[in-house]
Amino acid sequence: MQKWSKKAPPNAKSIGKAMRDLPLFLSSHTLFRWPHWVLFLLFCLILNVKSYGQVPIFISHPSPGENVHAKLLYQDSNGFIWAGTKSGLFSFDGINWRPVLVSDSTTERSVTAIYESANQQLWIGYESGKIDILSQGKIAAFEPEEGTPVVPITGFQEDAEANIWISTYGEGLYYWFKNRLYSLNADDGLPDNDVYVIAADNQKRIWAGTDRGIGICYLEKGEKKVEILDQKDGLPDNIVREIVYAPSGEMWIGMYDGGVGYYTLSTKKFHTLSGWISGSVSSLLPLASSVWVGTEHDDLWVWEDGQFHPIEKEKTQIYDMLADREGNVWVSVHTRGIQSTYESLSFEPAEKQVLSIHCGKSNVWYSTEDGLFCYNRTTGKTEKKASSFSANIVSIYEDETGNLWLGTIGDGVWHLDIKTGQKRPYREKDGLANDHVMSIDGKGNEIWFATFGGVSRFRLDDQGAVVGFDRYSRADGLSIDYIYQVYVDKKGRVWFATDGKGVSMWEDGEISTIEGLDRETVFGIDEDPSGNLWFSTEEKGVCRIPENGEEDTLIFARTDVATISSFAVVSDQALLITYPTHIDMYYPSSGRIVELEQDVGVSNIGEELNVIDRDKKGRIWIGANGKLIRFSPSELQTQFAPATRITGVKIFLEDIGDRDPMNLAYNENHVSFNYVGLWYQAPRNVRYEHRLVGYDIDWVESRNQQAIYPSLSSGTYTFELRSSLLGDFSRSRVVSYTFHINKPFWQTWWFFLLAITVGITLTYIWVKNWEKRLRRTERLEKEKIESQFETLKSQINPHFLFNSFNTLISIIENDQEVAVKYVEKLSDLFRNILAYRHQAVISLKEELTLFENFHFLQKHRYGDNFQVNLEVEESLRTGSSVPPLTLQLLVENALKHNIVSRSKPLRVDIHSHKSGYLTVQNNLQVRREKAPSTQMGLQNIVHRYRLLSDQEVIIEVTKTHFLVHIPLLKNETTL
């Protein structure tokens, strides 16, 4: 079904077209309509579901844990919401609950009381009687010398002298006074020792609710005083379960049998709210114009407009309630868990899109395409008042006599007599300006009609009968004849919102046009409590006529919006602006906006224009699609933007704890911040911007609740954080945290000095060492050359050759084959000497092969007169080295200096030791005539070893033997 939208196209041409189409679709509309009575029955059915219509819409929050009920709800001065449960204390940031570690985890931890004192200490009372104090993130047990109670703690309260009072269930009261814990119980005049609740009144006296009335306790010059208020004083019931102080000067009292009452502190009188039927009260929340009442067994009630209304109707227990600073009311329910609702908003179901709304003296009138409805605010009932209109009602006005004027599209105005139900039409032909009546307003006996053909004024007599018509059109000074709204202000001036031609104003018969708006289409008009006129325009948002003294002709307050459906002034500070899908709370002086949307139950408002009105109590009623939305200006709300809090500072993901943030070590340079922007209405909408001054150049936008700076160099940094709901951070408060990372020690002067000294010393030592090594190498080189020279000299020694050749001659004669071998060995010997002469060391195996050749040659010369016995361990042969030709030199020496004869054969014994020595040993039979010797051979070996190894060559001379121990070098020892 197509429906007529009041929002007409802005230009007159298309309005004309819409009007031409009008009769056609109105008739088709009627054809398809269901019989009225069916819809009406259906409607009644829907309404019967809830007897009290104006219900809040609750958001459900997660519970602190599985099967964990929040027995207590509390908001601290930082804005965090706390829950006290059987399993301990939890804090909530809107998304997650976090458990708070208790001071002693072994005892029972059922939290029964939470209270924040003025010095921001959170006092936590447990069922066991134990008490913890949470201060600056650290929890500690409260352990007075006097001991703690052994019965459940039921509350804390601070008195005028900042003494903390503690109530218990079984031991009366205690108070913490000059670091001593004193008791105040039945012996001191307290009515009873079972104290359910304590509260402080305007003088900070402590009110204790017990089974036998209220005890008002205070200290007077250190003396404890108790005054009793009970049934004798007019208290309805002595069992007092709940006491709440309301700043308006009352103590609200919830009782076991007596329902809800209040005691006015100034008059000292009790009043009881009548009509209570729901048994024991468990929780009370007095608000500006209503009182929320939680019960032990009968769910949640609200007392408003002089009556109790059920909000929900389960047989369940309300554990606790809380009003937070954003204007949300929180409820912890046994069966439904933790819920909250934006207290300003409540909802009443309507059947269809509401087309117009008007607050009469005691009823709210509204229309849908099905006719006219009346919502009775006292009974909460909706009633259908009239249905047989051939056209949609788009404007309603209740005049002084209580009768209604109903403006329609295309069918003029109907006058409805409420008592008799009589209807009377006024159409163009009866003197009405036009049959499309968009808006009606009036004052006293004058009713004004805004139409698409100018403005009409009806004058009534005291009985409400029409005594005359006036009509104003362009000819009379109106800027245009298409009028969307008429508004009569407090001074009696009449304002007209026109299509494309701004605002015209009638005053004492004269019509003028407001400058500055003359090209705008204006849809709505409203007046604030100070008498300023506000307008909503199609393209330029909302604006107002300035107060005297301001220069501009108009102040445009919010120009960034184009789809305003309706608006109303809430107070001098705030406007309510509705859009097809949401509502904005707009604060012109600060430019702040609080968006009310799905999260608080606002949706589907529709595009109808000006479906808004204010009742006598200042509450705003908005007609939406399928519901009426009521907005009550909140006195609860003191916070309009997320509360930005840094919740944790960590170094390498460990909490910074007690450390001084201005004195962090150079390697404590991984710093992270956890933070939150508390906005419980829509926690997931919160956006963050942060920067680290000294590191970041600009703000960094984020949706996370953590910022990490992994490797900061030394210096002073300030972490700055701000949060916002709509991404506009310009008005957000910046929260900051400053810290300092010290310079690393290598950047300090003393380390610099030390480093230079050490550097110079090291260089000196190195140079010295290098020099030494250079010299050693030089010497080694020299020794090597000398040894080569010596060896060569001895080999090419003519004696050696001469002897060798003599031997060869004798062999040739005997055995030619051996002779060939002999020559081969001789040549091998010389080749090897040449091959190894540049090497500092060779492996023992190579040395032995070399020696083998030499031995072969000598063997043939001396025969059995020269015997060599070789015992070298196999592993040493490859695993160790010796300077080349060492063995040959030693054996040569032996041959040179000793007698080699048949009677005195020379025995040379070469064997290895486990200690890493090779011993060359020969029997000593010194020749009488000394062979010419330079002693070079042995000396050379000793010198070379000194350069190659720490181990010395050991020369041992006994009476019978000559021994030379040469150290075997490990293979890796090479030079």
3-state SS, residue 273:
coil
Binding to another protein by CB under 8 A, coded x per residue (else -) over 141-180, reads ----------------------------------------
Crossing angle of helices 886-897/749-795, nearest 10°? 50
Is 344 within 8 Å of 327 (Cβ atoms)? yes
Closest CA relative to residue 133, chosen from 171, 175, 97, 103: 103
CB-count exposure of residue 656 (10 Å: 0-12, 13-18, 19+): middle
**Of 335 and 598, which has the nearer Cβ to another protein?**
335
User: What six digits make up the tokens of 408?
Assistant: 């329609």
Is 131 within 8 Å of 153 (Cβ atoms)? yes
CB of 102 vs another protein, minimal distance in Å: 25
CB of 355 vs another protein, minimal distance in Å: 50
CB of 173 vs another protein, minimal distance in Å: 18
Binding to another protein by CB under 8 A, coded x per residue (else -) over 516-555, reads ----------------------------------------
Closest CA relative to residue 40, chosen from 550, 384, 552: 384
Cα distances (Å, whole numbers) of residue 57 to 35, 582, 597: 32, 15, 12
**Of 22 and 186, which has the nearer Cβ to another protein?**
186
Binding of residue 233 to another protein (CB under 8 A): no
**Of 211 and 470, which has the nearer Cβ to another protein?**
211
Task: Give the chain's count of helices (H) and strands (E).
Answer: 9, 72
CB of 211 vs another protein, minimal distance in Å: 5
Q: Which of residues 191-210 bind another protein (CB under 8 A)?
A: 194
**Of 85 and 238, which has the nearer Cβ to another protein?**
238
Looking at the DSSP bridge assignments, the partners of residue 526 are 534
Percent helix, strand and coil across the chain, each to the nearest 5: 20, 40, 40
Is 527 within 8 Å of 487 (Cβ atoms)? yes
**Of 239 and 483, which has the nearer Cβ to another protein?**
239
Binding of residue 451 to another protein (CB under 8 A): no
Helix (H) or strand (E) holding 304: strand 300-304
Buried b / exposed e along 667-695 (16+ C-beta atoms within 10 A)? ebbebbbbbbbbbbbbbebbbbbbbbebe
CB of 60 vs another protein, minimal distance in Å: 25
- The answer to whether the Cα torsion of 157, 163, 164, 168 is positive or negative is negative
CB-count exposure of residue 423 (10 Å: 0-12, 13-18, 19+): middle
**533 φ, ψ to 5°?**
-90, 135
**Of 108 and 815, which has the nearer Cβ to another protein?**
108
**Of 298 and 828, which has the nearer Cβ to another protein?**
298
Helix (H) or strand (E) holding 766: helix 749-795
Binding of residue 238 to another protein (CB under 8 A): yes
**Of 241 and 861, which has the nearer Cβ to another protein?**
241
Cα separation, 541 vs 561, in Å, equals 5
Binding of residue 256 to another protein (CB under 8 A): yes
**Of 255 and 511, which has the nearer Cβ to another protein?**
255
Q: What is the dihedral of CA 20, 21, 25, 26, to 10 degrees?
A: -30
User: What six digits make up the tokens of 282?
Assistant: 């468990």
- Site for another protein (CB under 8 A): which residue of 3, 50, 86, 212? 212
Q: Say which residue the tokens 């949609």 belong to.
A: 392
Positions of E strands within 652-734:
654-655, 671-678, 687-693, 700-702, 706-709, 715-724
**Of 257 and 952, which has the nearer Cβ to another protein?**
257
Cα separation, 55 vs 629, in Å, equals 10
Put the strands of the sheet holding 654-655 in their side by side order.
Answer: 654-655, 643-651, 671-678, 706-709
Q: Which of residues 743-762 bind another protein (CB under 8 A)?
A: none
**Of 230 and 428, which has the nearer Cβ to another protein?**
230
Binding of residue 230 to another protein (CB under 8 A): no
* Residue 250 CB partners (closer than 8 Å, separation 6+): 262, 263, 264, 265, 286
Judged by CB under 8 A, the number of residues near another protein is 7
**Of 256 and 534, which has the nearer Cβ to another protein?**
256
Put the strands of the sheet holding 345-353 in their side by side order.
Answer: 345-353, 625-631, 620-623, 612-614
Q: Which amino acid is at 167?
A: S
CB of 80 vs another protein, minimal distance in Å: 32
**Of 212 and 443, which has the nearer Cβ to another protein?**
212
Is 196 within 8 Å of 169 (Cβ atoms)? yes
**Of 241 and 944, which has the nearer Cβ to another protein?**
241
**Of 279 and 468, which has the nearer Cβ to another protein?**
279
- Site for another protein (CB under 8 A): which residue of 211, 518, 786, 852? 211
**Of 56 and 191, which has the nearer Cβ to another protein?**
191
Looking at the DSSP bridge assignments, the partners of residue 320 are 332
**Of 210 and 723, which has the nearer Cβ to another protein?**
210
Q: Are strands 363-368 and 503-507 parallel, antiparallel or unpaired?
A: unpaired
Cα separation, 46 vs 377, in Å, equals 18
- DSSP 8-state assignment for residue 121: P
**Of 207 and 256, which has the nearer Cβ to another protein?**
256
- Site for another protein (CB under 8 A): which residue of 239, 409, 628, 678? 239
**428 φ, ψ to 5°?**
-55, -40
CB of 239 vs another protein, minimal distance in Å: 6
CB of 245 vs another protein, minimal distance in Å: 25
In this structure, how many other beta carbons lie within 10 angstroms of the beta carbon of residue 295?
24
Cα separation, 709 vs 697, in Å, equals 14
CB of 257 vs another protein, minimal distance in Å: 8
The distance from CA 669 to its chain's CA centroid, rounded to whole angstroms, is: 22
Cα separation, 496 vs 484, in Å, equals 7
3-state SS, residue 773:
helix
Geometric angle at alpha carbon 316, from 314 and 320, rounded to 5°: 120
Instruction: Give the footprint of another protein on this chain (CB under 8 A).
Output: 194, 211-212, 238-239, 256-257
